[in-house]
Amino acid sequence: MELIKDKTFGGERPLFAIHDTRLENVTITEGESGIKCCQRLEADRCRFIGKYPWWHVDGSLITNCYFEVGSRSAIWYSNDMIMRDSVIDAPKFFREMDGLTLENVQFADADETFWKVKNLKVRNVTLHEGTYPFMFCENVDVDGLKSDSKYVFQYVKNAVIRNAHIVTKDAFWETENVTIYDSHLDGEYLGWHSKNLRLVRCHIAGEQPLCYIDGLTLEDCTIDALSDRAFEDSSNINAEIRGAVTEIKNPISGRIVADAVGKITLDEHLKQPGNCEIIIRK
C-alpha cells in the first residue's frame, strides 16, 4: 500500500482515482472533491476542510480524523467504509451508501446525516443538533447512541437499536421492523404510522406517543407521566407496561397491561374492531 504522509492538498480533485493508498497526517484544504473515485484507502490523523472531500470511494478505513465545518456533504456514494475515533463538525454526511460502520464518532451538526444508507452499524456515536438523521436507512444496527437531533429515524426499515438516549421531535415515523432495547426515548409523536415496532425495557416520554401503528410490542417499558393520549388508532398491540399510564386513547385492537391508568378515552372516533383489552394489574 502506497503511503502519503505529512502533505497538504488543495484545489479541484487533487487525489482523484488513487487506490491502495494510506494517508497519514494529510490535510485537504479549500477546494472541492479532494478524494474522489478511489478504492481501498486508509486515512489516519487527517484533516478535511474543503467541500465534498470523499465521494465514490469503495473500501476505506478512516481513523482519528477531523472534518471541519466547511467539509459539508463530505462522504457520499462510498461503500464498505469503517470510521473510528473521529470528529465531524459539518452537516449532510453519509448518503447513498452500502456498508458503513462508525465507532466512537462525534457529530456537532448532524443535519440530514445518514440518508439512504444500507447495512449501517453504529457504536458509541453522539449526534448534536440538525434534523432528519437516518432518513430512509435499511438494515441498521445501533449500540450506544446519544442524540438531540430532531426527527430521527424516519422511514427506517429493519433496525435494532440498543442503549440509546434520544431527545427529539417526531421520531421513528413510518418505520418498519424496528426493535429498540434499553433506551430513553423522549420525543413528540413517537413512532407514528409505523409497522412492527418493538420496545424492550425502554422509557417513553413526550406528547401523544405510539399512535397510528400496526403491530406494536412493549416489553417491561415505562411511560412518562406527562405523556398523554397514548396508543390512538394503533392496532395489534401487545404492551406490558411497568407503572402507570396517564391516558390511553382509542386503541383499535390488542392488549395493554399496566399497573394503573389515569384515564381511558373511548369515544365516537374509535375505529373498528375497537376491542383492545386494557388490563390493570392487581
Residue-wise pLDDT for 203-235, tens only, equals: 999 999 999 999 999 999 999 999 999 999 999
Q: Check whether residue 31 and residue 120 sit in a common domain.
A: no
Task: Give the global pTM.
Answer: 0.95
Strands 176-181 and 184-188: unpaired
Q: Check whether residue 116 and residue 19 sit in a common domain.
A: no
Work out the burial of residue 277: count CB atoms within 10 Å of its CB; fewer than 13 is exposed, 13-18 middle, 19 or more buried. exposed
Q: Check whether residue 245 and residue 150 sit in a common domain.
A: yes
Q: Check whether residue 143 and residue 66 sit in a common domain.
A: no
What pLDDT digit, counting tens, does each position of 115-132 carry?
999 999 999 999 999 999
Containing structural domain, residue 23: 1-82
Q: Check whether residue 9 and residue 134 sit in a common domain.
A: no
Work out the burial of residue 147: count CB atoms within 10 Å of its CB; fewer than 13 is exposed, 13-18 middle, 19 or more buried. buried
For the chain, give me the number of helices (H) and strands (E)? 0, 25
SS3 71: coil
Q: Check whether residue 255 and residue 127 sit in a common domain.
A: yes
What pLDDT digit, counting tens, does each position of 148-188 carry?
999 999 999 999 999 999 999 999 999 999 999 999 999 99
- Span 36-46, mean pLDDT? 98
Q: Check whether residue 157 and residue 136 sit in a common domain.
A: yes
The last residue of a domain, from among 61, 82, 103: 82
Work out the burial of residue 43: count CB atoms within 10 Å of its CB; fewer than 13 is exposed, 13-18 middle, 19 or more buried. buried
Q: Check whether residue 76 and residue 90 sit in a common domain.
A: no
Q: Check whether residue 224 and residue 270 sit in a common domain.
A: yes
The last residue of a domain, from among 48, 66, 82: 82
Q: Check whether residue 92 and residue 194 sit in a common domain.
A: yes
Q: Check whether residue 121 and residue 54 sit in a common domain.
A: no
What pLDDT digit, counting tens, does each position of 266-279 carry?
999 999 999 999 99
Q: Check whether residue 166 and residue 199 sit in a common domain.
A: yes
Q: Residue 63: how many CB atoms within 10 A of its CB? A: 16
Task: With a cut of 80, say whether residue 282 has pLDDT above it.
Answer: no
Q: How many domains does the chain have?
A: 2
Are the beta carbons of 169 and 148 closer than 8 angstroms? Answer: no
What pLDDT digit, counting tens, does each position of 229-274 carry?
999 999 999 999 999 999 999 999 999 999 999 999 999 999 999 9
Average per-residue pLDDT for the chain: 97
Are the beta carbons of 169 and 153 closer than 8 angstroms? Answer: no
Residue 23 binned pLDDT confidence (cut-offs 50, 70, 90): very high
Torsion of CA 18, 23, 26, 27, to 10 degrees: 50
Look at residue 210 in the predicted model and tell me its pLDDT: 97
- Span 54-78, mean pLDDT? 97
Task: With a cut of 90, say whether residue 63 has pLDDT above it.
Answer: yes
The last residue of a domain, from among 26, 54, 82: 82
